[in-house]
Structure 1
Amino acid sequence: MEPLGAADPRQVGTYKLLGKLGEGAMGQVYLARSSRGRTVAVKLIRNELAGHPDFRRRFQAEIEAATRVGGQWIAPVLDHDSTGEFPWVVTDYIAGPSLHTVVSSSYGPLPEHSVRHLAGGLAQALRDIHGAGLIHRDLKPSNILITIDGPRVIDFGIARAAESTGGTTMTHAGAIVGTPGFMSPEQARAQSITPAADVFALGSVLTFAATGRSPFGTLDSTLHTMLLRIVQGEQDLTGVPDSLRPLIEICLAQDPAERPTPDRITELLGSSQADPRAATQDHWLPAAVLAGLGKDAIALLTSDDADDDGAAQAGHGTPPPPSHTPPVPAAPPGPPSP
């Protein structure tokens, strides 16, 4: 977590901001505390998106649908406001790093048993998301948080709203309808999508977890090269354990109708290994990753609230300049905050 910068807001609705957790194409994410003392994550939507009336309308509809998503393996939506100067959404705070951070920075590719349990948790998360009538549209390693008892999926219900701006990550800096390396062929072709697009992304995510790279390229690959490989089905599964290759290959089928449903993925994994909760006694994560989670938890517990100058005491580094400066007004009267 980084300290709040001089231009960062100190309050979003009824939530007191404590520090900055990150920043992405959709907006900035802050650690915050509700009026009742609950620790939450607040995502503040970027100006470029907030200025589109169609985005606000769809954001409201999608987030309302997201509040109905339940389940063990997602970060639930707790509150939101689509009418203020800067739209925002509040989710439960998940104390864990992203899969991207674990694999790219702190540990490396995960062992086979960890990838199997990851697949089981993600399949169940997709089942819950799809069951609420939503499609995630941007399932990728940075939208998957790693915890002691399993993965958690975040940012569902927002990507579709960005489509109303008429842009994509390839043509518009602020709108996401998929991430190169983790999008389906139908997304790459700008075609209509079904829940099967998330299953394709799952295949790419599992490949990343097992090898440290997307099946369609590395960070050095050009956008054009990645998209061409995706639409032509030229995935590279080198390094994927043999026991996982059949599952990943069927998830990466070019025809959406040939991809398995989340329930079918659970069956293919086997009931004893599909549920990460069954692995907690045997440590589904490597010891080094577990140790890092413990350190993060201690840092959160010992961190202070923002001081009088607004700088959070936990974390380090200087955050990049935000795209907004004024504090965000409180939401209009609505459901009680968590």
Structure 2
Amino acid sequence: MKEPGPDDPAEIGPYRLVARLATGSTGRVCLGRSPDGEHVAVRLVHESRADDAAFRRRFAREVAVAQRVRSPWTVPVLGGDTGARVPWVATGYVPGPTLRDAVAERFGPLPEASAWALCLGLARALAEIHGHDLVHGGLKPSGILLTPEGPKVTGFGIARGAAVTPSGSPRWLAPEQIVGERAGAPADVFALGAVVAYAVTGTGLPAADASAPWQSPDGGTGAGPVDGPLRGELRDLVTRCTAKDPARRPSPAEIAEEAARHGAAALAGGAWLPPALSAGLGRDAAAPPVPDVPGDPPTHPAGASRGQRRSVRGAAAVGALLLAALATWALLPGGGDSASEAAGDAPGKSEADAPDSDDAPWPGPAAETGLTPETGLTDVRGDADGAGGTGATEPDGATETAPPAGSGAPLSELLPPEVREAGTVTVYAPVDAGPFGHLDGSGGFAGLEPELLAAMGERLGVTFALEAADDRETALERLAGGEGPRMAIGGFSDTPDNRSESGTTVVDSFQDGYVLVMRDGEVARDLGGLCGGTVAGWEGDYYRGLVAAESTACGDPVRYWGIDDLPAMLDAVRDGEADAAFVLYTEIVGHFAEHEGSDGGLALSERLMLIGDYGMAVHRGDGELAQALRAALQSLIDDGTYARAMERWGIPDAAVDTARVNGEP
């Protein structure tokens, strides 16, 4: 939390605004206080959205729908004014961590007794939501707040008519959502089972099956070994919840009845969580919700004690969740039924969520793709003009392959014989690797590397079949454990240590480096121009060390302020609390592209610092395939296709003149 900004009104409706919780491209979330002293979270729509008549209509409709649900297990929508000059909506303020925060950062996996109580609360929440002809459509650990009284679900109320389109991270999506079908209430039940599995195991779906949960060996959400942490009746319930066939999943009422036998007493007594975690909730609830006036950067969250960081993180979680729901309203296609949380944690910090939108979240054309029902593979094959093509799907669900090698593809002879014979290369692709590759609103892949692969496939005479992976790390894990011709995309850093650790060879397709983001008109060339100043960047000794290494010539050292949220870094620069933010060029350009208007008042340094090579990874033993990919990429560089793609995806300064493998031409 921070003090209200100069553009935040002192009051809105009956609420006095006392702090700002979060800021994003769709608006901001403030902490408000009602006349009777109760705290609420107030979401104010960004002016660019307020001028959109279609958005206003959808926003008004969705606020009205969400107000219908009042339950102890959901975060209530209290009211708002969707017709005001700055539309706003107020919801309950819950000063607690998300389930993801509790499991991943605070405590670890929950004991079985707590998981039963969690299951009961979630089932009751879904029963209430479904009872109003609504579907959540995006239930996941980062959308569940923990309180002493039980879990509270947020982010619902945006799906109507009990049907939703795909949204969220694949590990929480039901099979019918992943293949692009409209899904109803059973999809929420699947997500409930996946969430409970995560709460008990700390991992949930096994990485190898994150894109197709129903393919896990035990038929469920990766329950793990029978004698593991998820066992007995809870394991049986999770398996039923995550059945591939929606008709075989239990209803929320049936789940609640079964979970009540194990978790009702603990939930009713307020002792449903482990004592250590409950004590943290008590500290969060007792902490004053109004922040102190910011002081010197080292006293901010990055330098606070562990207990202080917890309170700040809890407040930040509330703001991020509320802003996510606001972003979802902003992304809804007109007249469609949809639900998702479109805002998330910092890049590389959390599970990736595919935005639920007709609009690609990054500028530039999306390679047309098709998702095959049973395999989760998306074909990217070159058309005659080298642009992205559609992988056609046969009636039986099989994927049509590219024409065989030798049918006019000029570089097909460079491929290893087994790849030419197979005609297909499996590509493990993170669902959200920014402009390098991501799932678009239609469920297909778009981005720089999918577009390049489409053109390279035309020249090599091979199909690149993209298979969704949760993140870059998962893509590399699947590359290491896979079989046959395979590779991974996502913009991998090409260093000897990284290659050795991941067992890969990297085809370098672009370069990247760090830039300074400063207030417009105050741009320094490099860190040497900020001696004695304050630089904000990602939390961690690694980033702190990079800044220290680049500013060794300073007599008055540069102070480093670690922040775990990119918009918060930019706010610190705008507010004058930091002189600059230190981030990767492609990261900040991608952020500005995704969040229109977020670059207001800011400018980038012209010089890239600590430049390195990045690209696509192949298995270390597939050197011949890597060289064929290098040759195909070089042909795109030579004829200008590559430069046009870099320009379309907004990162022309990351272009290379020569395609390399492991840094060598």
Fold equivalence (TM over 0.5): yes
Match of 1:230 in 2: 213
Question: Which residue number in structure 2 is paired with residue 285 of structure 1?
Answer: 273
Please give the secondary structure, in 1, of the residue aligned with 2:19: strand
The residue correspondences of 1:249-264 to structure 2 (distance < 5 A) are: 249-264=239-254
Q: 1:272 to 1:233 in 2, by over 3 A?
A: closer
1:58, CA displacement in angstroms? 3.1
The equivalences for 1:1-338 within 5 A come to: 2-4=1-3, 6=5, 9-11=8-10, 13-14=12-13, 15-22=15-22, 28-45=28-45, 53-84=53-84, 87-158=87-158, 177-217=167-207, 226-227=210-211, 229-230=212-213, 232=215, 235-238=221-224, 239-243=228-232, 244-271=234-261, 273-274=263-264, 277-280=267-270, 283-300=271-288, 303=290, 315=312, 319-321=568-570
Output one character per residue of 1:135-175: Cα deviation in whole Å (capped at 9) or x when no partner.
111111111111112111112113669x99xx97xxxxxxx
For the residues of structure 1 that align with 2:229 and 2:23, how far apart are their CA atoms?
31
Query: Does the CA contact (< 8 Å) of 2:76 and 2:92 recur in 1?
Result: yes
Provide the rounded CA distance (Å) in 2 between the counterparts of 1:179 and 1:26. 21
Amino acid at match of 1:212: G
Amino acid at match of 1:236: G
Moved more, 235-244 or 23-32: 23-32
CA RMSD of aligned residues (A): 3.6
2:287 aligned counterpart, secondary structure: helix
Q: Following the alignment from structure 2 to structure 1, what is the Cα–Cα distance between the partners of residues 141 and 189?
A: 14
Task: Provide the C-alpha distance between the structure 2 equivalents of 1:121 and 1:273, rounded to a whole number of angstroms.
Answer: 9
The equivalent residue for 1:330 is: none
1:37 and 1:279 mapped to 2: Cα distance?
Answer: 27
Distance 1:69 1:50, change over 3 A: same
TM-score, scaled to structure 2:
0.40
- C-alpha contact 2:10 2:16 (8 A) present in aligned 1: yes
Q: 1:275, CA displacement in angstroms?
A: 6.3
* Secondary structure in structure 2 of the residue aligned to 1:181: helix
Alpha-carbon distance between aligned partners in 2 of 1:26 and 1:123, rounded to the nearest angstrom: 31
Partner residue in 2 for 1:335: none
Contact 1:66/1:132 (<8 A) preserved: no
Determine the structure 2 residue equivalent to 1:328.
none
Offset at 1:59?
3.0
Distance 2:152 2:178 in 1: 26
Change (3 A) 1:89 1:212: farther
Pair 1:245–1:231, CA change in 2 (3 A): closer
Shift of 1:198: 0.8
Gaps of 5+ in 2: 295-310, 314-562, 572-594, 599-665
Q: Quote how far apart the aligned CAs of 1:13 are.
A: 2.9
Residue-by-residue CA offset, 1:107-161 (whole Å, 9 max, x unaligned): 1111110000000011001111111111111111111111112111112113669
Moved more, 200-209 or 292-301: 292-301
Other structure's SS at 2:156 match:
coil
SS of aligned partner of 1:41: strand
Question: Any conservation in 2 of the 1:7–1:321 contact (CA below 8 Å)?
Answer: no
Aligned-partner Cα distance in 1 for 2:266–2:98? 17
**Cα gap change, 1:74 to 1:35, in 2 (>3 Å):** same
How far 1:272 sits from its partner (Å)? 5.3
TM (normalized to structure 1)?
A: 0.75
Q: Which amino acid aligns with 2:230?
A: P
**Is the CA contact 2:214–2:243 (under 8 Å) kept in the aligned structure 1?**
no
SS at match of 1:152: strand
Q: Cα distance 1:247–1:87, how it changes in 2: closer, same or farther (>3 A)?
A: farther
In structure 1, list runs of 5 or more residues that go unmatched. Answer: 169-176, 308-313, 326-338
User: Per-residue CA shift, 1:65-107, capped at 9, x if unaligned?
Assistant: 2212122211111013333465432111112111111111111
How far 1:56 sits from its partner (Å)? Answer: 3.5
Is 2:120–2:260's contact at 8 Å kept on the other side of the alignment? no
- Matched residue of 1:191: which SS? coil
Residue 279 to residue 16, structure 1, CA distance change in 2 (3 Å): same
- The one-letter amino acid paired with 2:273 is L
Distance change in 2, residues 1:198/1:28 (3 Å): farther
1:272–1:28 CA distance, 2 compared to 1 (3 A): same
> Is 1:117–1:274's contact at 8 Å kept on the other side of the alignment?
yes
Q: 1:61 to 1:17 in 2, by over 3 A?
A: same
How far is 1:271 from its partner?
A: 3.6
Asked whether the equivalents of residues 120 and 276 of structure 1 are also in contact (C-alpha less than 8 Å), the reply is no
Distance 1:274 1:179, change over 3 A: farther
Residue 240 of structure 1 and its aligned partner are, at CA, apart by 4.1
Residue 286 of structure 2 aligns with an amino acid whose one-letter code is I
Q: 1:10/1:51 Cα in 2 relative to 1: closer, same or farther (>3 Å)?
A: closer
Counterpart Cα distance in 2 of 1:43 and 1:216? 36
The percentage of counterpart residues that share the same residue type is 39
